[in-house]
Amino acid sequence: MWRPAQETDLPDIDAFLSQHIQTSMFPLANLRDFGLRKLHPRSLKAWVLGDPFRAVFAITNEGMILSQCPNCSDDELAEAISLIRGHALFGIASEATQARWLMQLGGWEDRPATLNSDEPGFSLELDQLRIPDVSGARLVPLDEVDRAITENWRHDYLIEAMDFAPDRAKTQAGEDFEAYCTRDSHRVLLVNDRPVAMTGFNARLPEIVQIGGVYTPPELRGRGYARLAVALHLSEARDAGVSRSVLFAASDSAARAYMAIGFQPAGYFSLILFTNPEDTA
């Protein structure tokens, strides 16, 4: 049976999730950054199964399911879902097979979503990173560029990649900008001092980073700016001691860009964001 995770369980949870690092970056980073059963919107409520642990089922305060249940039975997953009935359900971020089974067992398959995709995963040992030609290019923190530029880019990204309504995207873009600056998680690529692309880490641990939020304005696409931005940011992380990176590609063109700098295919990941995040599980 599932039991609520306690603070004393965190080292064993960390060890278990680290065995599945490709699809566990979000719960690992959230636990380390926001804690267990704390007040932050991204703090986790979590339950564990087995001794030693063979599954972790978690949901953030704002309602994002972050699970790692690789060998759970239907009954075990149904029991986990029952633990969050009545909780706001923002979405699901999990290994693709698990996410699809949770959607079915939870009865959420027909729930409207702004994003509902299975994306190919990629992994890179940073000693294998290939950096494109950097002539005239440099990477700078987000707050060194006019906020209007990067906030508009984030606004457009949310509409294009996540199908946000414009009003929701505007609010979220402002919140994201503040969070990115606070965490120093994102960078802007300048070419001849002109901002041309943005990249970031949406989850970061001492030894591994997860790429997310990569964006190039439509009029500047097809010039290799995204891959250069990602490569330079990873080079910066490697110099700080990070040894590996993972990501999920939202399109074939993105996948080609990442493979060009050394990433290799590594499974599939589902990201599901429901249209009405205040609706309950």
All residues at 6 or more sequence positions from 172 whose CB lies less than 8 Å from its CB, including other chains:
154, 158, 164
Which regions of the chain are under pLDDT 50?
none
> Which pLDDT value is given to residue 177?
96
All residues at 6 or more sequence positions from 184 whose CB lies less than 8 Å from its CB, including other chains:
141
- Does the model's pTM come out above 0.85? yes
Q: How far apart are CA 113 and CA 64, in angstroms?
A: 13
Tokens at 192, concatenated: 């001849």
In order, the DSSP letters of 162-214 are: H---HHHHHHHHHHHHHHHHHHT-EEEEEETTEEEEEEEEEEE-SSEEEE---
Residues 247-256 have pLDDT tens digits of: 999 888 889 9
> Which pLDDT value is given to residue 250?
84
Residues 163-188 have pLDDT tens digits of: 899 999 999 999 999 999 999 999 99
- The pairing of beta strand 113-125 with beta strand 186-191: unpaired
Secondary structure of 59-85 in HEC code, one letter for each residue: EECCCEECCECCCCCHHHHHHHHHCCC
> Which pLDDT value is given to residue 139?
97
